[in-house]
Structure formats: structure tokens, C-alpha cells
Amino acid sequence: MKALRLHQSGKIQLHNEPIPNPEGGKVLVQVTSVAICGSDLHWLNEGGIGDAKITHPLILGHEAAGIIASGPHKGTRVAIDPAINCGECKYCQEGNPNLCQNMRFSGHGLQDGALREYMSWPEKFLFPIPDALSLNDAAMLEPLGVAIYAMDIANIKPGIRAGVFGCGPIGLLIIQLARAMGATQIIAAEKLPHRLEAARACGATDTFLIQSEEDVPDFFKITEGEGVDVAFEAAGSNHALQCAIQAAGYGTTIILVGIPNDDEHRLTASQVRRKELTFKLCRRMKHTYPRAIRLAEQGLVDLKSIVTHRFSIDEFQEAFSVAANRQGLKVIIEPTT
């Protein structure tokens, strides 16, 4: 089978490898759809993400879907939950599997991911999808799950004002969810015009095209002088964080969803102290696949519009180039069709 392995920063190669042999509660999955995530680009460009560094040729890819190819459920179309938690540690037992200290995550550390034609994966981490969803839609359920969890920790209430700073795929999904949950004003800020246009299509009521790193608009002017009730930083940049801090009302919350390139969030202490802001960081998700599937199946979120590019596994170089240059929204590689 074909498999993409990252050997070191900037070096990813296509290999021919044996098809895995599933054992111990695992099944073989024919991988049909893998979306390129910003964290995949961190691995490719920096040879790691945060304090996790590449130690062996690694197969990337964690936003994925496919078809079960072995066992009694052969032929079932599934979304692939990339996070294999142990279920036994303190954090799993407390209902926080996203904090599992024994977690194996697809395309991270020692765990090979989905950018290959077939993968062996525990069946309990596979979620059957309804006929209303395509397999590419199913790959998008992972970023939707992150957006859902961001909304969970934000404690969104009907009638609030929300700000989204960074309108990549997860930012756009947060906008859609905020609209569905009754936000009356959704401010979106982004550097790329085509992503800002997508934000308006997703439900943003007020949009700001950021012109430079020094450009921090006065968002208070359009919120009756009160700022937003919750701000989502979804760009992984300190400039987006500064915009979120400026937009946040006094005593409100900022949700940090993006992953910064330099592994640092920087802020001005006096500014955030005087506003008495609360910061919450979004660590992946907590068993959000069932909700994500229902939302997508019922048309309450639009996943199709987020996918703008599709490539075969042989076209991986172009796929990663398009994703790295942020030419569209979400790029999907289709290992098998």
C-alpha cells in the first residue's frame, strides 16, 4: 500500500508498505479521506509541534474517514476518532479522556496516522456515518468536534456577542455553531479576504480584514461599548490573541484554540488584569463525534463548503503546498477512492 512518511522537517516521502494486520480489537480500515490540519503543517515545517519532536519516520494525518475492510462490520463507512485514550488513568476515569496521560494520537509522536491507503485502528474509536454524509464530510467531523468542545468550555448562551479571530476551518465552524446557538452578533477578523468572505457566508455579522500585525481594530465601537461576551482565538498567532483581548468585554472569557508557531502565547499583563479576563485552552475534544454527526446530518452545520481542494495521495506535494499557503480553506487527500 502507499503511505506518506515525514522523515524530518520539510521532508515527506511516499513509500510502498505492507497492509497492516489488525489484532487485539482492531480492524482494518480503507482510508478514503484525510484532511490536512494546521498541526500537520507544524510537523512538516518544524519537525514537531510544541515539545513533541519527530523521532522516527512518521505517518501524519488525524482528520480522517474510511471504510471498514475486515471483520463483521466490513463495508461500514466510518469517521476515525484519532485519539486512543486508555480509559484507565485518573483523567479518563474523571471523564476527561482528552487529558489522558497514556493517549496515542493519530499522526503524533510514535503513533502513525491516516495518510496511507490502509490503517489498523481500534473498532471502538470508529463511528459509523449516515448516508447523508460523504466520506469527505466524515473527515471534517474531527475539526467540527474541536469546535464543539471550544463551544462547550465557552458556556455559550443565546443572545451573546461572540468574536472569532482567525477564520480557518475551525474558526468557520465556530462561527456556524455560534449562529446555531443563538449568538446575536458574531465578529470575525482575518487576514485573508477569501476566508473573511467565507466567514460572512457562515454567519458572521461584522467582519474585519486585518491589514498588518499592527492593525488591531476598535471592536468596542460596534458592540455598544461593551465588547464581546466570549472571544475565540483560532489562528494560532499572537496578533489574533491581541485582537481577541482588545475585543473582549470586561470580566469575559477568551478561548485559545489555535496553536502558535513558537509555542508561546504573549499578552500584556496590565491589559488582561484590568479587564479581569478568564483564559481557557481547548485541548482537542471530549467524545463529540455523536453530536458532530447529528449536527452535520441535520444540516445545522455545513461541512461541504469548508472543503475547497481534493488531491490523490500521489499529489501530496501540491496538497501540502496549497494548505501551507492557505490558498483555500480545507485541503483533503484521498488515499483511496
Q: Is residue 307 part of a domain?
A: yes
The helix or strand, by DSSP H or E, that contains position 161, with its residue range, turns out to be strand 161-165
Residues 118 and 159 in one domain: no
Give pLDDT < 50 ranges for the chain. Answer: none
Radius of gyration of the chain (CA): 20
Bridge partners of 309, per DSSP, are 331
**Nearest residue to 173 via CA among 193, 206, 195:** 195
Global pTM value? 0.94
CATH number of the domain at 196, please.
Answer: 3.40.50.720
Residues 173 and 154 in one domain: yes
Q: Is residue 162 part of a domain?
A: yes
| Structure confidence at residue 83 (pLDDT) | 96
Place of cell 496538497: 319
**Nearest residue to 172 via CA among 149, 212, 143, 206:** 143
Residues 102 and 152 in one domain: no
Residues 276 and 307 in one domain: no
Q: Angle of helix 169-180 relative to helix 193-202, nearest 10 degrees? A: 20
Judged by phi (left if over 0) then psi (alpha if -120 to 50, else beta), residue 166 lies in: left
Q: Is residue 298 part of a domain?
A: no
Residues 311 and 253 in one domain: no
Q: Is residue 293 part of a domain?
A: no
Residues 172 and 212 in one domain: yes
Residues 184 and 69 in one domain: no
Q: Angle of helix 169-180 relative to helix 141-154, nearest 10 degrees? A: 50
pLDDT tens across 18-61, in order?
999 998 889 999 999 999 998 999 888 888 888 888 989 999 99
Q: Is residue 277 part of a domain?
A: yes
**Nearest residue to 20 via CA among 67, 60, 63, 69:** 69
The answer to whether the beta carbons of residues 93 and 102 sit under 8 Å apart is no
Residues 132 and 182 in one domain: no
pLDDT tens across 316-328, in order?
999 999 999 999 9
Residues 265 and 311 in one domain: no
Spatial separation of the C-alpha atoms in residues 211 and 172, rounded to whole Å: 20
Question: How far apart, in Å, are the Cα atoms of 259 and each of 19, 49, 111, 281?
Answer: 33, 9, 20, 10
Residues 124 and 171 in one domain: no
Q: Is residue 39 part of a domain?
A: yes
Spatial separation of the C-alpha atoms in residues 222 and 206, rounded to whole Å: 8
CATH number of the domain at 16, please.
Answer: 3.90.180.10
The answer to whether the beta carbons of residues 136 and 85 sit under 8 Å apart is no
Residues 130 and 238 in one domain: no
The answer to whether the beta carbons of residues 285 and 145 sit under 8 Å apart is yes
What is the count of structural domains for the chain?
A: 2
Q: Residues 217, 221, 227, 228: what is their CA dihedral angle, to the nearest 10 degrees?
A: -80
**Nearest residue to 205 via CA among 236, 225, 228:** 228
| Structure confidence at residue 197 (pLDDT) | 97
Q: Residue-wise over 104-131: b if at least 16 C-beta within 10 A, else e?
A: bbbbbbebbbbbbbbbbbebebbbebee
| Structure confidence at residue 263 (pLDDT) | 77
Q: Is residue 286 part of a domain?
A: no
Q: Is residue 287 part of a domain?
A: no
The set of cell numbers assigned to 64 is 480522517
β-pair type (104-105, 118-122): unpaired
Residues 51 and 132 in one domain: yes
Range of the domain at 108: 2-140+303-334
The set of cell numbers assigned to 236 is 494560532
